Amino acid sequence: MDLKLMLTTFGMVFLAELGDKTQLATMAFSAEGKSRLAVFLGSAGALTLTSLLAVVFGAAIAKLIPPNYIKAGAGVLFVVLGFWMLISPGGK
């Protein structure tokens, strides 16, 4: 196992998830719920499943498209979506 890759992935996903809507929803469920363990297991399971899907589909796509194109495409998509969010009027 590539320890450096694992720690880099952990750090990036951890930082990306801090303060996002998933964490806020989990905090809301925890505040309202009687079982914090159930909230933790549900949210951890959901994050694990979405990560599994990302790894499986990423590996499948990498067989069809070179990884450097995937990285470039993801970068362009993030920039385009960020720009769109800046200029979009929102819900109106």
Give the number of other CB atoms < 10 A from CB of residue 39: 19
Tell me the pLDDT tens digit for each residue of 11-55: 988 888 888 888 889 999 999 888 999 999 999 999 999 999 999
The stretches of 1-92 forming alpha helices (DSSP H) are 3-17, 21-32, 36-64, 67-87
Name the residue with higher pLDDT: 65 or 85: 65
pTM greater than the 0.75 cutoff: no
Tell me the pLDDT tens digit for each residue of 72-87: 999 999 999 989 988 9
Amino acid identity, position 21:
K
